Amino acid sequence: MKSRTFFRFWYGWVGLVAALIACEIREDKKMKYANAKFITSAARKDQFIQIDKPIIAVCGKSNVGKSSFINMLAGQNKLAKVSKEPGRTRLINYFDFGEFILADLPGYGFARVSKEEKLRWARLLDDFFADKSKITHVFSLADIRHEPTADDRQMIEYLYAEIIPFTVIATKSDKLSRAQIAKNLTVIASVFKCGKDNIIPTSAKSRAGFDEVYAKIYRIIKNGEEDV
Ligand SMILES: Nc1nc2c(ncn2[C@@H]2O[C@H](COP(=O)(O)OP(=O)(O)OP(=O)(O)O)[C@@H](O)[C@H]2O)c(=O)[nH]1
Ligand SMILES: [Mg+2]
């Protein structure tokens, strides 16, 4: 009886210390990227930044939560502009996270813009992806609540065809139950023809998925891991 109490006591302490270390590592990561900074916007090819750091592009349809996702990673509310109105981000916005750069790409699939504007966006994205040696990885965002759109599918097919490594970020997970999340991830994986382990459910609201995304970023920038 006495020895059981003794072990319980030590198990308790070991558990507590492990939890504190885990918390500290997480805080450290948050602190590190809390001073992420906006660098510049690009409307044309000649304005794309030339920098010797890994660039991770964040793409997805309009209103899917790209800017909110970037803010979640930075631990800041106003780094990237978030809007209820779709099609707000019309330029490529670059953010410096110290060890890597995030490029917030203009959202596709927004119906209420002129043909000319759509063409301009398409050209800008084409130019951006043309020099794929400059893109280390792509986070392709899809709303976890819905089946991916034809545009989403086209984006993923393009990444497969161009052999650009990507991870699917399923956004707005706070809007679904755990069971629904699991069900929808299966649908998204089957539409995109990728493994479920290449999809990370996230929420900019609850910060769910934060650690998983950073673990992925860590692998991308440290080990040069490339999954297509
Ligand atoms: N509940 C919930 N709402 C979210 C989440 N992420 C984004 N939103 C909301 O979705 C809307 C669009 O978010 P943005 O981050 O501006 O989306 P975006 O993809 O950058 O949009 P564009 O720049 O227009 O292409 C806003 O009203 C956000 O508050 C999330 O994880 N959970
Ligand atoms: Mg945006």
Q: In this predicted structure, what is the pLDDT of residue 87?
A: 60
pTM of the model: 0.86
Q: In this predicted structure, what is the pLDDT of residue 13?
A: 81
Percent of the chain whose pLDDT exceeds 70 = 87
Any bridge partners for residue 166, and if so which? Answer: 138
Residue 16 vs residue 199, higher pLDDT: 199
Which atom of ligand 1 sits closest to the CA of residue 202? 31
List Cβ neighbours of 138 (8 Å cut-off, separation of 6 or more): 56, 57, 58, 59, 159, 164, 165, 166, 167
Q: Cβ(227)–Cβ(198) under 8 Å?
A: yes
Q: Is the pLDDT of residue 186 over 60?
A: yes
Q: Is 214 exposed, middle or buried (0-12, 13-18, 19+ CB in 10 A)?
A: middle
Q: Is the pLDDT of residue 1 over 70?
A: no
- Of the listed ranges 60-64, 87-91, 157-161, 173-177, the one predicted with least confidence: 87-91
- Å from CA of 12 to ligand 1 middle: 41
d(CA 183, CA 187): 7
Q: In this predicted structure, what is the pLDDT of residue 27?
A: 57
Q: Is the pLDDT of residue 9 over 80?
A: no
Ligand 1 within 6 A of CB of 61 = no
Q: To 10 degrees, what angle do helices 150-161 and 178-192 make?
A: 50
Ligand 1 within 6 A of CB of 140 = no
Secondary structure of residue 164 in the 3-state scheme? coil
Ligand 1 within 6 A of CB of 64 = yes
- Of the listed ranges 85-94, 138-147, 159-168, 204-213, the one predicted with least confidence: 85-94
Q: In this predicted structure, what is the pLDDT of residue 178?
A: 96
Q: In this predicted structure, what is the pLDDT of residue 148?
A: 96
- pLDDT tens sequence across 66-102: 999 999 999 999 999 887 776 666 799 999 999 999 9
Q: Residues lining ligand 2 (ion), CB within 5 A?
A: 66-67, 89
User: Which candidate, 101, 190, 184, 187, places its Cα nearest to that of 144?
Assistant: 184
Q: In this predicted structure, what is the pLDDT of residue 227?
A: 46
Phi-psi sector, 224: left (phi>0), alpha (psi -120 to 50), beta: left
Q: In this predicted structure, what is the pLDDT of residue 11?
A: 77
Q: In this predicted structure, what is the pLDDT of residue 3?
A: 66
Residue with the smallest CA separation from ligand 1 atom 25 is 62
Q: Cβ(100)–Cβ(56) under 8 Å?
A: yes
Residue with the smallest CA separation from ligand 1 atom 1 is 172
Which CATH number is associated with domain 37-223?
3.40.50.300
